[in-house]
């Protein structure tokens, strides 16, 4: 007995056993896994490599250009890039502060106070999630433009001003538009943080002799700090990669940020791919730093036991009569931030031409814009393109995520953590950079992808894999390993077991991820704006080009239709996740 034991631990046998486990690993199941891993690497790393390659060459994609550092000299030698960097960062920081303050305030109101009508507040804050960013941005132009802005007009007549008080075409206008449109994300994250704070900690502090301010600082702020930081960093990353406000407001106002500089470099004639690529490197550097910090902070946040896992019923603060004051302030915020932008779009969608709301104009309200939209071939084409690319991308992303999550959770294959990280990298890829990278790749590689819907599908899959991966990962963690092993005992077909045991069990999670990605493809502009061509437009692109060509009222009707569609899909998602008690990860 002891002899065998000795042999068993002897180096030689162990080495042979290593070989054996390797050979067992090389079943075709691992072939399938290897393909998934390769696809993920191909989707994420190859375009990045392509862009880097491009910045080091002296010709557009696909030409046999030679290596040069000239692009870097050109880009970094001009003050433009530093101006863009400064604008991008300050835009992201300032708009993030606005979003955070408002979102956090609303979360506090609904989670920690006895303010009435919490349900209404809660639903109202979720609404901006449903409206495509391009539409809200345009609606703020309707509200704050110096010529036609509703708020300006009202303020002028109310206070007898001879000059419009606000100008949307300014840095402040850009910051405000993006900030107010992104209150939902900090609201949800901070509400979760409030909810997961153990009320006994506060009670312990009140029993001790801490003053209320000191208590707030010592307990609430310190405990919530990681969540606050994570939320702010996420807002920063969102802000820095956004395209809508910089394009609609920043370009006419002459405020360059990275996203628009790259866009313009590609729209200018002659197209300057190399310069755009070089800008992308600086752009990427900033987003990567933001994402890395975010990941660090969330890891720290997970270590804070008080902030994860258990949900508590937070202690509700009795505001007394103050609660009506808080209610008024909250309603005012929601009226300006959520209701007004939607209302002005809805109003305009019924107008024969763009005009301020008035009783007189109301009598001229018409369905003509809606009729026109439904008679527009481009609308059907864009909707169809959007549906095809959205459905395909969501399906592919979710299936790939199943494979990745399975590898990460269930196997001990070396490098699986790396795969997880690689699949997560697109979170740091701004839409325009990803698009540029894909353009470069498919203008170089002779595959029939450029100019087709495929390039859009590939872009969507790449960009949204991190989202589906998180949802799928969380669901798969819930599936006990033994459930799968019980199946493995009876059938050697890995795929059969996967699809009859694991997939049905995580189906609600898959569906939520799938639907969420589908809605995103109907909202995001930064990705298709560079990749869509005549015939392959999707709805946000169509809205943007209608805006540029002045089809304002029609655009509004189209926006309303699109928002209703997204709301229906989102409602479905919520139903499913409520039914199966899943939280769609942000």
Partner 1 sequence: MISVQGLAKTYAGGNVRAIDGVDFQVETGKIFTLLGPSGCGKTTSLRSVAGLEQPDAGEINLFGETVFSSTRGISLHPSKRKIGMVFQSYAIWPHMTVLQNIAYPLKGKGLSRAQIESKAREALRMVDLEGFEDRPAPKLSGGQQQRVALARAIASDPRIFLFDEPLSNLDAKLREEMRGHIRALQRKLGITSLYVTHDQVEALSISDFIAVMEKGKIVEVGAPRDIYLHPTSRFAAQFVGLTNIMPAKLRHGDAGDTVRVDLPFTSLLCQGLTTKAHSKGDSLMVLLRPENVRVSSSSFNCETNEWRGRVISSIFLGEFIDCTIACGDFQVRARVNPFHQFEDGAEVYLHIAPERFSLLTA
Q: Site residues (CB under 8 A) for partner 1?
A: 1-2, 4-9, 13-14, 16-21, 23-24, 480, 482-483, 485-493, 496, 500-501, 504-505
The span from the CA of 441 to the CA of 283, in Å, is 19
- Closest CB to partner 1 among residues 29, 153: 29
Q: How many CA atoms lie within 13 A of 521 on its CB side?
A: 35
d(CA 12, CA 21): 14
Smallest distance, partner 1 to C-beta of residue 508, A: 11
Task: Please check whether residue 51 is in contact with residue 44, taking contact to mean a CB–CB distance below 8 angstroms.
Answer: no
Closest separation in Å from C-beta 512 to partner 1 = 17
Question: Minimal distance in Å, beta carbon 479 to partner 1?
Answer: 9
Q: Which run of H or E residues covers position 197?
A: none
Separation of alpha carbons 457 and 21, rounded Å: 38
Q: Which is nearer to partner 1, 206 or 493 (CB)?
A: 493
CB of 19 to partner 1, least distance (A): 7
Instruction: Answer whether 301's CB lies under 8 Å from 96's CB.
Output: no
Q: Say if residues 95 and 178 touch (Cβ distance below 8 Å).
A: yes
Separation between Cα atoms, residue 130 and residue 569, nearest integer Å: 9
Closest to partner 1 by CB, 18 vs 325, is 18
Least distance (Å) from partner 1 to the CB of residue 480?
A: 5
Closer to partner 1 by Cβ: residue 158 or 489: 489
Determine the Cα angle at 255 with ends 251 and 260, to 5°: 55
Q: Which position has the token pair 């703020």?
A: 140
The residue behind tokens 């490599």 is 49
**What is the C-alpha to C-alpha distance for residues 30 and 22, in angstroms, rounded to an integer?**
11
- State the CB neighbour count (10 A cutoff) for residue 156: 15
Whichever of 21 and 78 has its CB closer to partner 1, that residue is 21
Full 3-state SS string of 261-303: HHHHHHHCCCCCHHHHHHHHHHHHHHHHHHHHHHHHHHHHHHH
For partner 1, the closer CB: 209 or 490:
490
Nearer to partner 1, 78 or 492 (CB): 492
Q: Judged by CB, which is closer to partner 1: 12, or 358?
A: 12
For the CB of residue 496, give the shortest distance to partner 1 in the complex, in Å. Answer: 7
Task: Report the C-alpha gap between 79 and 298 in whole angstroms.
Answer: 35
Nearest distance from C-beta of residue 495 to partner 1, angstroms: 12
Q: Which is nearer to partner 1, 371 or 495 (CB)?
A: 495
Contacts of 476 (CB under 8 A, 6+ apart): 402, 405, 406, 409, 502, 506, 509
Q: How far is the CB of 26 from partner 1 (least distance, A)?
A: 12
Minimum CB distance to partner 1, residue 569 (Å): 25
CA dihedral 420, 425, 431, 435 (to 10 degrees): -90
Closer residue to partner 1 in complex, CB, 318/482: 482
Residue 402: CB minimum distance to partner 1, A: 16
- Phi, psi for residue 112 in degrees, rounded to 5: -115, -10
Task: Classify 128 as helix, strand or coil.
Answer: helix
Between CA 97 and CA 172 the distance in angstroms is 13
Angstrom distance (rounded) from CA 297 to CA 229: 7
| Three-state SS at 539 | helix
Residues 170 and 253 sit within 8 Å (Cβ to Cβ): yes
Smallest separation (angstroms) from partner 1 to the CB of 536: 40
Q: 58 or 485, CB closer to partner 1?
A: 485
Do residues 455 and 438 touch, judged by C-beta distance below 8 A? Answer: yes
Q: How far is the CB of 23 from partner 1 (least distance, A)?
A: 7
- Name the residue nearer to partner 1 (CB basis): 12 or 321: 12
């Amino acid at each position: 007995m002891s002899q065998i034991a000795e042999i068993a631990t002897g180096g030689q046998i162990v080495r042979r056993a290593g070989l054996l486990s390797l050979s067992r690993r090389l079943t075709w199941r691992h072939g399938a896994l290897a393909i998934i891993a390769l696809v993920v690497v191909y989707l994420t790393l190859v375009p990045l490599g392509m862009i880097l390659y491009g910045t080091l060459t002296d010709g557009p994609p696909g030409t046999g250009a030679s290596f040069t550092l000239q692009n870097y000299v050109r880009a970094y030698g001009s003050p433009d890039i530093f101006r863009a960097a400064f604008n991008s960062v300050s835009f992201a920081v300032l708009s993030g502060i606005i979003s955070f303050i408002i979102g956090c305030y609303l979360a506090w109101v609904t989670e920690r106070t006895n303010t009435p009508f919490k349900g209404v507040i809660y639903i109202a804050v979720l609404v901006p999630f449903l409206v495509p960013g391009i539409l809200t941005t345009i609606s703020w132009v309707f509200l704050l433009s110096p010529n036609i802005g509703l708020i300006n007009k009202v303020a002028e007549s109310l206070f007898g001003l001879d000059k419009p008080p606000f100008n949307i075409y300014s840095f402040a206008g850009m910051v405000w538009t993006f900030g107010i449109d992104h209150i939902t994300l900090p609201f949800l994250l901070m509400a979760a943080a409030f909810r997961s704070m153990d009320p006994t900690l506060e009670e312990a502090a009140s029993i001790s002799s801490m003053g209320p301010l000191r208590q707030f600082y010592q307990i609430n702020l310190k405990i919530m700090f990681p969540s606050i930081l994570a939320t702010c960093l996420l807002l920063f990353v969102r802000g820095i990669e956004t395209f809508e406000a910089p394009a609609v407001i920043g370009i006419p106002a002459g405020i360059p940020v990275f996203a628009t500089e790259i866009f313009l470099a590609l729209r200018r004639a002659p197209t300057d791919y190399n310069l755009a690529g070089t800008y992308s490197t600086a752009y990427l550097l900033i987003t990567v730093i933001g994402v890395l910090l975010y990941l660090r902070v969330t890891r720290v946040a997970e270590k804070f036991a008080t902030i994860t896992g258990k949900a508590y019923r937070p202690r509700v603060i009795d505001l007394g009569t103050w609660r009506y004051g808080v209610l008024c302030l909250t309603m005012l915020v929601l009226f300006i931030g959520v209701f007004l932008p939607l209302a002005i779009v809805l109003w305009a969608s019924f107008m024969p031409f763009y005009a301020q709301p008035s009783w007189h104009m109301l009598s001229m309200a018409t369905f003509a814009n809606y009729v026109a939209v439904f008679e527009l071939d481009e609308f059907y084409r864009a909707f169809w393109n959007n549906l095809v690319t959205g459905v395909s991308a969501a399906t592919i992303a979710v299936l790939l995520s199943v494979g990745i999550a399975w590898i990460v959770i269930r196997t001990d294959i070396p490098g699986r953590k790396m795969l997880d990280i690689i699949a997560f990298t697109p979170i740091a890829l701004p839409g325009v950079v990803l698009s540029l990278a894909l353009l470069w790749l498919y203008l170089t590689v002779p595959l029939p992808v450029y100019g087709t819907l495929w390039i859009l599908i590939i872009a969507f899959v790449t960009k949204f894999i991190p989202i589906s991966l998180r949802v799928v990962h969380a669901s798969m963690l819930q599936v006990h390993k033994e459930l799968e092993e019980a199946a493995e005992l009876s059938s050697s077909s890995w795929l059969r077991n996967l699809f009859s045991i694991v997939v049905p069990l995580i189906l609600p999670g898959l569906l939520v991820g799938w639907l969420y990605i589908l809605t995103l493809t109907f909202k995001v502009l930064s990705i298709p704006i560079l990749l869509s061509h005549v015939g392959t437009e999707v709805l946000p692109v169509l809205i943007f080009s209608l805006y540029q060509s002045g089809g304002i009222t029609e655009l509004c009707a189209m926006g309303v239709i699109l928002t209703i569609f997204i709301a229906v899909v989102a409602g479905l998602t919520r139903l499913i996740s409520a039914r199966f008690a899943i939280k769609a990860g942000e």
